[in-house]
């Protein structure tokens, strides 16, 4: 019996019509069989590559850490190695299947069940990215010929039969781990956004082989497959050593009970730092560190000519929530809030970090009481209104 229950393209990439392809994948099997299926799909559809180690001891050290702290991933690695025919002496890193790799920005809001119409807590977020390929990202103004980054994305459901909770994730650039948004069968949800405070703590690709621990993407998977609540997620991540390939990230985590926290990492030693909400209302996160700027009265002066500035986007969401403080929010309200801070900028003078076009690639809301995801997907530009064109919402659900 195949581990692949579903594998279909729900949005096709088309020049001038749609920037991105989105594939919906459903996997149900043992973790080793899930690893085999992911290896085949990653090779067939994404031309994924496993980066090589230069020294076998570095590979063995990484694999030993994963075996001790995320055994389900270790089982999937066995499936990947079997698919490619690698033995124990092979130097390929089977813990990641990279493609179209680079960093991300974004905005997110957690709505606790105390402020929602249904009594369900939910989480809304925008994913933004530069709409260029890796070569142009590294060499602005010089376009390459590869796939543009965040243009081959996936919605994946996994139902492991021998360890780990079922989960639904939205991700890119690593079919094995690349989850930026997701939730599990018990109602834990997580979204990862860039943390400008960690820019000096990122690990270049050339140095990855020297890193022990879990990458932040592997950490997201480990939390979704091993924790049921925010408190369990805190305990679990505190036992990990986490490193950051290419970009620093912080995380908005919530659960079915209406609890939430913002997970960041110390600049000194990358130890986890948790900021819980100081009120029962919604929690906002954009791209500045909440440890460094805990309240709006600590923000620097905001330049309103820069619509993508992290503090400006935060205040746009804050003002919306203040104006609607007596409203009982629905998931559609979450998507509306996200539409107020869509990314549509073309150079760094508008608040981005680089002189490149940036767009909202997806906008979503996760309701984990009914285990559902609503997601709108970027297709093209509306130059007349200076806004991204997004599809109507697709709906996906995790089976109970």
2-16, 55-69, 102-116: least confidently modelled range: 102-116
Answer whether residue 150 shows pLDDT above 80.
yes
C-alpha distances out from residue 226 to 38, 190, 237, 398, Å:
20, 13, 10, 16
Number of neighbours of residue 30 by Cβ within 10 angstroms = 17
Mean pLDDT of 345-350: 87
Residue located via tokens 């709108």:
376
Instruction: Bin 150: left if φ > 0, else alpha if -120 < ψ < 50, else beta.
Output: left
Mean pLDDT of 365-394: 95
Q: Which two tokens stand for residue 342?
A: 């869509």
Number of neighbours of residue 118 by Cβ within 10 angstroms = 14
* Confidence label for 1 from pLDDT (cuts 50, 70 and 90): low
- DSSP assignment of 206-231 equals GGGGG--SEEHHHHHHHHHHH-SSHH
Q: Are 240 and 219 in contact (CB under 8 A)?
A: yes
pLDDT of the residue at 105 = 59
Secondary-structure class of domain 4-397 per CATH? alpha beta
- DSSP assignment of 140-157 equals TT---SSPPTTSEEEEEE
Number of neighbours of residue 299 by Cβ within 10 angstroms = 15
Q: The dihedral of CA 318, 320, 323, 326: what is its sign?
A: negative
pLDDT of the residue at 133 = 77
Answer whether residue 103 shows pLDDT above 60.
no
* Confidence label for 246 from pLDDT (cuts 50, 70 and 90): confident
| Rounded distance between C-alpha atoms, residue 195 and residue 285, angstroms | 10
CA neighbor of 362 nearest in space, from 396, 329, 328: 396
Mean pLDDT of 47-52: 88
Give the start-to-end residue ranges of the domains of the chain.
Answer: 4-397
Higher pLDDT, 289 or 348: 289
* Confidence label for 293 from pLDDT (cuts 50, 70 and 90): very high
Torsion of CA 185, 187, 188, 192, to 10 degrees: 90
pTM of the model: 0.94
Number of neighbours of residue 353 by Cβ within 10 angstroms = 15
- What single-letter DSSP state applies at residue 356? S
List CB contacts of 42: < 8 A, sequence separation 6 or more.
48, 97, 99, 175, 176
Answer whether residue 79 shows pLDDT above 90.
yes
Mean pLDDT of 332-348: 94
Mean pLDDT of 234-247: 93
What three-state secondary structure class fits 130? Answer: strand
Q: What is the mean pLDDT of the chain?
A: 93
Higher pLDDT, 80 or 16: 80
């Amino acid at each position: 019996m195949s581990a692949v229950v579903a594998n279909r393209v729900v949005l096709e990439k088309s020049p001038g019509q749609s920037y991105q392809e989105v594939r919906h994948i459903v996997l149900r099997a043992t973790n080793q069989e899930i690893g085999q299926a992911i290896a085949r799909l990653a090779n067939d559809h994404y031309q994924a590559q496993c980066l090589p180690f230069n020294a076998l001891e570095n590979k063995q050290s990484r694999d030993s850490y994963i075996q001790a702290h995320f055994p389900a991933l270790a089982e999937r690695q066995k499936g990947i190695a079997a698919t490619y025919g690698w033995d124990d002496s092979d130097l390929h890193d089977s813990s990641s299947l990279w493609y179209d790799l680079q960093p991300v920005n974004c905005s997110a809001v957690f709505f606790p069940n105390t402020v929602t119409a249904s009594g369900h807590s939910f989480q809304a977020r925008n994913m933004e990215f530069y709409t260029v390929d890796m070569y142009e990202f590294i060499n602005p103004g010089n376009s390459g010929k590869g796939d543009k980054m965040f243009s081959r994305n996936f919605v994946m459901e996994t139902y492991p039969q021998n360890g780990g909770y079922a989960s639904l994730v939205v991700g890119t650039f690593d079919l094995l781990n690349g989850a930026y948004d997701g939730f599990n069968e018990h109602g834990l949800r997580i979204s990862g956004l860039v943390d400008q405070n960690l820019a000096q703590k990122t690990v270049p690709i050339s140095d990855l082989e020297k890193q022990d621990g879990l990458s932040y993407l592997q950490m997201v998977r480990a939390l979704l497959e091993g924790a049921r609540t925010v408190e369990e997620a805190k305990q679990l991540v505190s036992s990990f050593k986490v490193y950051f390939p290419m970009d620093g990230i912080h995380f908005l985590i919530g659960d079915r009970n209406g609890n939430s926290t913002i997970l960041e990492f110390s600049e000194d030693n990358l130890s986890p730092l948790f900021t819980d909400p100081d009120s029962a209302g919604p929690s906002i996160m954009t791209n500045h560190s909440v440890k460094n700027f805990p309240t709006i009265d600590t923000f620097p002066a905001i330049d309103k000519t820069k619509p993508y500035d992290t503090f400006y986007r935060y205040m746009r969401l804050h003002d919306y929530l203040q104006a609607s403080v007596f409203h009982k929010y629905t998931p559609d309200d979450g998507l509306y809030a996200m539409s107020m801070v869509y990314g549509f900028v073309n150079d760094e003078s508008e608040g981005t970090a680089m002189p490149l076009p940036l767009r909202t690639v997806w906008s979503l809301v996760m309701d984990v009481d009914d285990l559902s995801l609503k997601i709108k997907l970027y297709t093209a530009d509306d130059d007349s209104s200076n806004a991204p064109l997004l599809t109507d919402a697709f709906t996906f659900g995790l089976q109970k």
